[in-house]
């Protein structure tokens, strides 16, 4: 990626009115036409959101998007959409024992609503606040039950089973953090009280130790900062066996959305650690040692992203995708979503840009030079995403950010023209994280309350 100081905070702020106008149009279109009785909207086909049964991990992004829209614009209709649908339709996600996605679904809905009350942006009765708090307590505890013990720790296992650690979950485990901060615990057999923050920290450590590589010779593909989508463990003895990938090309290449989840998850965790008493997780690790490990992962993954992404900051779907070599010197020019060889993934850029900004903000007092680079990179990527050809301007297209990819290995993404790769479509997670990115930038530019998920407890 090439940094360009001409794309600064003010330049991106100037793009936001149009962004939010289009965002509102898309939310209304989905609300008016999508039948949620058939599942959650996942991605678009020919510009229309469709469901894709695998796990229902995107419904919180649907209704959370309306809440973010209200937050950014003050338009009450979107608060009504988000609030009503959260109350009416999100309860099954609170007690869903089969997924690792609680932080995605429930912090994006119940968490955002409670955050707005805590920040004073909406009024909420004591009972409404307690309703959201109870939901957030429950979701963190339920997610924490998906637990695999390994030597010196453990992790929240993915929907693949107890052997499987997904890099994605580093961001979804914020459900445990919120639940703990609200005073909750998980109770097990014989009423044993299990600390949610200790499980969250153990999961964070497992992710940065196993899913992130540091160039120390773990295998022949141990490039500093690369990530593996999935790590496989032997559930008999807890030992790590190998990297793997579900949505990337291989376990020995880097699926860029997984890399983005790591950047974002580590960045937002570093920001909120000062709000959590060290004594609450001290049996696992000291605060100083935890910060050291998270900072190492943050810098490694951010540097890998910058080094392995085209000049405009929009990545291809996997850094080891098999046909990238046919594109020539593809890293030294802007990404081409209309090429004939490998698709880009704008949703990875939406997620990574937010993470780069958060890491950059965190590093201001520790590493000013890196801080400035990461902040510039995150803002610059946002400027590209909030402009064409990535911003979806057609009134009949329900997606907000174009050129997102869901599952390239399974061939699930719509290919609109022969001889080209999948392009021109959107995803619910990409659109939601674009809105989070826009809200984060808007609040920074206007010097408003800094946007973090833990504002639902202490703004």
Per DSSP, what are the bridge partners of residue 153?
150
Domain ranges of the chain: 9-456
Q: Residue by residue, what is the 3-state secondary structure of 398-416? A: CCCECCCCCCCCCCCCCCC
**pLDDT tens by residue, 183-231:** 999 999 999 999 999 999 999 999 999 999 999 999 999 999 999 999 9
Q: Write the CB contacts of 43 (distance below 8 Å, at least 6 apart in sequence).
A: 49, 50, 52, 404, 406, 412, 413, 425, 426, 427, 428
**pLDDT tens by residue, 55-93:** 889 999 999 999 999 999 999 999 999 999 999 999 999
d(CA 70, CA 77) in angstroms, rounded, equals 8
Write down the pLDDT at residue 54.
78
Task: Check whether 382 has a pLDDT greater than 90.
Answer: yes
Biggest alpha carbon–alpha carbon distance for the chain: 62
Per DSSP, what are the bridge partners of residue 318?
255
Please say whether the dihedral angle defined by the alpha carbons of residues 20, 55, 128 and 137, taken in this order, is positive or negative: negative
Q: Residue by residue, what is the 3-state secondary structure of the chain? A: CCCCCCCCHHHHHCCHHHHHHHHHHHHHHHHHHCCHHHCCCCEEECCEEECCCCCCCCHHHHHHHHHHHHHHHCCHHHHHHHHHHHHHHCHHHHCCCCCCCHHHHCHHHHHHHHHHHHCCCCCCCHHHHHHHHHHHHHHHHHHHCCEEEECCEEEECCCCCCCEEECCHHHHCHHHHHHHHCCCCEECHHHCEECHHHHHHHHHHHHHHHHECCCCCCCCCCCCCCECCEEEECCCCCCEEEEECCCCCCCCCCEHHHHHHHHHHHHHHHHHHHHCCHHHHCCCCCHHHHHHHHHHHHHHHHHHHHHCCCCCCCCECECCCCCHHHHCCHHHCCCCCCCCCCCECHHHHHHHHHHHHHHHHHHHHCCHHHHHHHHHHHHHHHHHHCCCCCECCCCCCCCCECCCCCCCCCCCCCCCCCCCCCCCCCEHHHHHHHHHHHHHHHHHHCCCCCCCHHHHCCC
Mean pLDDT of 142-157: 97
Write down the pLDDT at residue 138.
98
Mean pLDDT of 380-398: 98
Task: Check whether 181 has a pLDDT greater than 90.
Answer: yes
Give the burial string for 349-373 (b: 16+ CB within 10 Å, else e): bbbbbbbbbbbbbbbeeebeebbeb
How would residue 53 be classed by pLDDT, with cut points 50, 70 and 90? confident
Count of beta carbons in the 10 Å neighbourhood of residue 60? 31
d(CA 154, CA 147) in angstroms, rounded, equals 7
Fold of 9-456: Glycosyltransferase (1.50.10)
Write down the pLDDT at residue 56.
86
d(CA 357, CA 387) in angstroms, rounded, equals 19
Write down the pLDDT at residue 323.
98
Phi-psi domain of 113 (left: phi exceeds 0; alpha: psi -120 through 50; beta: other) = alpha
What angle do helix axes 346-362 and 256-272 make, rounded to 10 degrees?
30
Please say whether the dihedral angle defined by the alpha carbons of residues 282, 176, 231 and 358, taken in this order, is positive or negative: negative
Mean pLDDT of 271-286: 98
Q: Write the CB contacts of 337 (distance below 8 Å, at least 6 apart in sequence).
A: 314, 343, 344, 346, 389, 390, 402, 403, 423, 424
What angle do helix axes 126-144 and 174-181 make, rounded to 10 degrees?
130
Burial class (CB in 10 A: 0-12, 13-18, 19+), 320: middle
d(CA 23, CA 267) in angstroms, rounded, equals 26
How far from each other are the two terminal CA atoms of the chain, in whole angstroms?
Answer: 34
Q: Quick check: bond before 304 cis, omega within 30?
A: no
Per DSSP, what are the bridge partners of residue 260?
none
Write down the pLDDT at residue 436.
98
d(CA 168, CA 454) in angstroms, rounded, equals 19
Write down the pLDDT at residue 89.
97
Contact present, 381 and 313 (Cβ < 8 Å): yes
Task: Check whether 458 has a pLDDT greater than 90.
Answer: no
Mean pLDDT, the chain, integer: 97
**pLDDT tens by residue, 13-24:** 999 999 999 999
Contact present, 63 and 90 (Cβ < 8 Å): yes
Mean pLDDT of 326-345: 98
Mean pLDDT of 330-341: 98
d(CA 249, CA 87) in angstroms, rounded, equals 39
Write down the pLDDT at residue 135.
98
Task: Check whether 459 has a pLDDT greater than 80.
Answer: no
Share of the chain above pLDDT 70, in %: 100
């Amino acid at each position: 990626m090439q940094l360009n100081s001409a794309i600064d905070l003010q330049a991106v702020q100037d793009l936001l009115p149009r962004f939010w106008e289009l965002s509102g149009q898309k939310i209304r279109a989905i609300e008016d036409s999508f039948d949620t009785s058939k599942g959650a909207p996942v991605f678009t086909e020919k510009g229309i959101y469709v469901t894709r049964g695998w796990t229902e991990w995107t419904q919180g992004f649907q209704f959370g998007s309306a809440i973010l829209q209200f937050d950014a614009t003050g338009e009450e209709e979107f608060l009504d959409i988000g609030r009503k649908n959260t109350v009416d339709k999100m309860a099954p996600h609170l007690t869903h024992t089969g997924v690792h996605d609680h932080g995605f679904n429930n912090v994006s809905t119940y968490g955002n609503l409670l955050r707005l009350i805590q920040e004073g942006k909406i009024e909420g009765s004591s009972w409404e606040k307690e309703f959201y708090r109870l939901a957030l307590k429950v979701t963190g505890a339920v997610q924490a039950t998906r637990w695999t013990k390994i030597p010196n720790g453990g992790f929240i296992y993915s929907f693949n089973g107890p052997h499987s650690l997904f890099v994605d979950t580093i961001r979804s485990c914020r459900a445990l953090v919120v639940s703990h901060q609200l005073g909750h615990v998980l109770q097990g057999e014989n009423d044993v009280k299990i600390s949610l923050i200790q499980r969250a920290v153990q999961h964070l450590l497992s992710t940065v130790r196993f899913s992130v590589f540091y160039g120390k010779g773990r295998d022949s593909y141990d490039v500093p900062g690369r990530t593996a989508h999935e790590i496989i463990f032997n559930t008999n003895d807890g030992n790590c066996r190998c990297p793997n990938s579900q949505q990337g090309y291989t376990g020995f290449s880097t699926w860029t959305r997984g890399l983005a989840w790591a950047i974002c998850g580590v960045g937002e965790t570093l920001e909120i650690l000062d709000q959590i008493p060290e004594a609450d997780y001290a049996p696992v690790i000291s605060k100083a040692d935890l910060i050291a490990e998270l900072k190492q992962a943050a810098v490694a993954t951010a540097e890998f992203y910058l080094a392995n992404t085209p000049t405009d900051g929009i990545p291809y779907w996997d850094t080891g995708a098999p046909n990238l070599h046919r594109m020539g010197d593809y890293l030294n020019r802007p990404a081409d979503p209309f090429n004939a060889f490998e698709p880009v993934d704008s949703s990875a850029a939406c997620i990574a840009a937010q993470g780069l900004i958060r890491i950059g903000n965190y590093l201001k007092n520790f590493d000013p030079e890196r801080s400035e680079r990461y902040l510039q990179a995150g803002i610059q990527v946002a400027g590209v995403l909030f402009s064409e050809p990535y911003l979806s301007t057609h009134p009949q297209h329900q997606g907000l950010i174009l050129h997102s990819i869901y599952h390239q290995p399974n061939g699930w993404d719509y290919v609109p023209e022969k001889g080209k790769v999948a392009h021109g479509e959107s995803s619910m997670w990409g659109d939601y994280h674009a809105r989070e990115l826009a809200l984060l930038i808007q609040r920074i530019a206007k010097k408003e309350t800094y946007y973090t998920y833990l504002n639902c407890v202490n703004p």
